[in-house]
Structure 1
Amino acid sequence: MKIGVPKEIKDQEERVGATPSTVASLIHAGHTVVVEAGAGVGSGYLDEDYTAQGATLGSAAEAWDAEMIIKVKEPLPSEYGFFKKGMIVYTYLHLAADRELTDALLANEVTGVAYETMVGRTGGLPLLFPMSEIAGRMSIQVGAHFLESAHGGKGILLPGVTGVHRGKVTIIGAGTVGFNAAKVAVGMGAQVTILDINAQRLAEVDNIFNDKIQTLISNPHNIKTAVEGADLVIGAVLIPGASAPKLVTEDMIKNMADGGVIVDIPIDQGGIFETSTHATTHDDPVYVSHGIIHYTVANIPGAVPKTSTDALTSATVGYAIEIANKGIKAAADDNNTVFTGINTFAGQLTSKAVADSLDLPFAPFQ
């Protein structure tokens, strides 16, 4: 199979869909790989690193002229012109919040394999996990930054100092993102509250942190109390393939003290805050609504591309080889993880969660 690795063109996105090691594995399996010149530079990989492993360098058009495309972020409108019937696009897609991309994939009969909906053999989301770890950990880092008065925040130091209150961090969601956010927040010495609808998961988290955090069942009353009293609120709820639920109301944001910060990590699925009106970029990462700083960058791990690329590609390469070796139908038949990643196929929307979110017809993959 001919495989293309284009350069990411999303603002401040320096990750790349394949490392030289990934290329070596694909070529060893008998495939050809075209890498867009400069695609890996932001992640620390030079063009000669790819050619040394047998890749061919090309333009964007040449990288897209392939049977399978391996990316990191969703294709942008300027890339839709490269779509062609039967092409496999293997990347994060987040279609539930992107009707335009969904329509383009369907109209061109592109097979969209979404990292974020691929379910592992024992459950979980193995291709979302490494980026969720990074996003969770970075959320506290960026939140602490914007709490500084020089950046518009209320001037709170999360760990406090002797004789002074620690900063209050509320994390909504105790999955991979929320757990990793809690790790950093607790490590910094903040006062941490984490909410989730799963009591068993909260018990696990409570045991791991040895009672250093406050756990609460996620319901409207508890969310309201925890949000309104917080200095930093992290949105960490994800429903695979579907739009994120709006759990934090505009009134709750209005009742926070001015200069507080929210970080809405699932913004690429629509976000969990009613006041998260749009995704921001690393160039212009925040906006203020009701006196509260909103950080709604859709590709948080893109700020640390070397770490992110190495973590992501180590998770994606095995499935890429399986798809390339067998073709999408046989790979999906043999591996349920591949099957659960197929969001579009032959002009049909094959993810029920996406179909329900966009109110479009659903057709099971066959």
Structure 2
Amino acid sequence: MRIGCPREIKNREYRVGLTPESAKELASHGHEVWIESGAGEGIGAHDAQYVAAGAKIVAGPEPIFAECEMVVKVKEPQAEERAQLREGQLLYTYLHLAPDPEQTADLVKSGATCIAYETVTGPNRTLPLLKPMSQVAGRMSIQAGATALEKAHGGRGVLLGGVPGVMPGKVVVIGGGVVGFNAAQMAAGLGADVVIMDRDPEVLERVGTHFEARASTRFSNKANLEDAVSEADLVIGAVLVPGAAAPKLVTRAMLGTMKPGAVLVDVAIDQGGCFETSRATTHDDPTYVVDGVVHYCVANMPGAVSRTSTYALNNVTLPHALRIADLGWKEALRSDPHLAQGLNVHAGRVTYPAVAEELGYELLPVGEVLG
């Protein structure tokens, strides 16, 4: 199979779909790997390293979209990339379609087959291709929130860990999954006063056992959420409904009860955000203020730590890429029901239930696609 990896063009996105090591693995299986010149510069991987790995360097993304059977990326294709996708081509990347009707419409129109990293499943309802970026984003959310809390950045002027004789900052983490767990771990490590909120008693028991006295847990209902948010210096939105838009848990009215200069970090922004006042921002302009509350809603947070993120991502995406390339996408999905859950769009139809329901498409069941 001819596999292409273009340079990412989203704002401040320095990750790359394939590392030189991943390119070498694919090439060793007899596949042709095309890399856009400069695609790996953001992780310190130069064209010469890809050539040494057995890949071909091409100028610009056009040859990749025109001639490669599979396109491997990190972020969802931007409008100019979607315009180059073609019928029968395979796209393998993060998509986050439910809150993005324009992207979905373009992918449907293209006729391409699109596999989304974020909906590929694992044992026990896990999301193994989303997990490493959730770990990165969760940890980064505390760094970003701590910076936004500084007075020079519009925040309250609070140090999360406090100092002797001064109370630490209060961090409320909404969601006890991978993002929330990693955010709480970082916040507790800094010495902050941490509260983790979730609706699942088993999750609350698990995180409570892990953190013991270093963090407290609280059941997430409207009354408790309103109370916790009003007391917080920093709120981390770490809610995920796989493949679907995130629920709006923190309302505009709640902002009026918060401390001036408090900070909201919405890690769920890729799925539309879990704060009513959230809108996607970029690394160039990461924050804005609503009702005196600082919002940080960067949609590609892990792109800022591109080397760590890229290698963590390739560790989990490469085995599936090899399987798809070796067997062909249809046989790869037939033989692996977890990978089959990644199919979101095929030949002009939406194949993922949550996306079809959210955006009003008639669902084409994956089982019908695979025969």
Quick check: TM above 0.5?
yes
**Secondary structure at 2:227 match in 1:** helix
**Given residue 315 of structure 1, which amino acid in structure 2 is its aligned partner?**
V
Partner of 1:287: 288
Partner of 2:240: 238
Residue 107 of structure 1 and its aligned partner are, at CA, apart by 1.1
Residue 337 of structure 1 and its aligned partner are, at CA, apart by 1.9
Partner of 1:274: 276
Question: Aligned partners of 2:2 and 2:221: how far apart in 1?
Answer: 49
**Given residue 54 of structure 1, which amino acid in structure 2 is its aligned partner?**
G
**Given residue 307 of structure 1, which amino acid in structure 2 is its aligned partner?**
T
* Residues 238, 268 of structure 2: 8 Å contact kept: yes
RMSD: 0.8
Is residue 2:158 matched to residue 1:124? no
Say which of 253, 256, 260 aligns to 1:258: 260
Deviation string for 1:34-92 (max 9, x for gaps)? 00000000011000000001111112111223110000000000112211001111000
**Secondary structure at 1:210 match in 2:** helix
Residue 253 of structure 1 and its aligned partner are, at CA, apart by 1.2
Is residue 2:154 matched to residue 1:149? no
Partner of 1:24: 24
Is residue 2:43 matched to residue 1:43? yes
Question: Aligned partners of 2:315 and 2:261: how far apart in 1?
Answer: 39
Partner of 2:175: 173
**Secondary structure at 1:96 match in 2:** coil
Question: Aligned partners of 2:237 and 2:251: how far apart in 1?
Answer: 12
Question: Aligned partners of 2:8 and 2:233: how far apart in 1?
Answer: 34
* Residues 83, 110 of structure 2: 8 Å contact kept: no
Residue 31 of structure 1 and its aligned partner are, at CA, apart by 0.7
Partner of 1:302: 303
Partner of 1:34: 34
* Residues 234, 264 of structure 2: 8 Å contact kept: yes
* Residues 5, 34 of structure 1: 8 Å contact kept: yes
Residue 97 of structure 1 and its aligned partner are, at CA, apart by 1.2
Residue 7 of structure 1 and its aligned partner are, at CA, apart by 0.2
Is residue 2:54 matched to residue 1:54? yes
**Secondary structure at 1:279 match in 2:** coil
Partner of 2:343: 342
Say which of 137, 141, 166 aligns to 1:164: 166
% identical aligned pairs? 51
Question: Aligned partners of 2:354 and 2:162: how far apart in 1?
Answer: 43
Residue 122 of structure 1 and its aligned partner are, at CA, apart by 3.9
Deviation string for 1:102-148 (max 9, x for gaps)? 11111111111000001013430000000000000000011001101
Structural mapping, 1:60-209, within 5 Å: 60-65=61-66, 66-209=68-211
Partner of 2:7: 7
Unaligned stretches of 5+ in structure 2?
none
**Secondary structure at 1:39 match in 2:** coil
Deviation string for 1:165-192 (max 9, x for gaps)? 1100000000000000000000000000
Question: Aligned partners of 2:256 and 2:11: how far apart in 1?
Answer: 30
Question: Aligned partners of 1:359 and 1:215: how far apart in 2?
Answer: 37
**Given residue 304 of structure 2, which amino acid in structure 1 is its aligned partner?**
A
**Given residue 51 of structure 1, which amino acid in structure 2 is its aligned partner?**
V
Question: Aligned partners of 2:310 and 2:272: how far apart in 1?
Answer: 24
Partner of 2:326: 325
**Given residue 267 of structure 2, which amino acid in structure 1 is its aligned partner?**
I
* Residues 5, 64 of structure 1: 8 Å contact kept: no
**Given residue 38 of structure 1, which amino acid in structure 2 is its aligned partner?**
G
Residue 343 of structure 1 and its aligned partner are, at CA, apart by 0.2
Residue 222 of structure 1 and its aligned partner are, at CA, apart by 0.9
* Residues 83, 106 of structure 2: 8 Å contact kept: no
Question: Aligned partners of 2:221 and 2:358: how far apart in 1?
Answer: 22
Deviation string for 1:248-297 (max 9, x for gaps)? 11111121011010000011111000011x20000000000000110000
* Residues 121, 336 of structure 1: 8 Å contact kept: no
Question: Aligned partners of 2:82 and 2:253: how far apart in 1?
Answer: 39
Residue 22 of structure 1 and its aligned partner are, at CA, apart by 0.5
Deviation string for 1:179-216 (max 9, x for gaps)? 00000000000000010011111111011112321101
**Secondary structure at 1:144 match in 2:** helix
**Given residue 183 of structure 2, which amino acid in structure 1 is its aligned partner?**
A
**Given residue 338 of structure 1, which amino acid in structure 2 is its aligned partner?**
L
Matched residues, number? 365
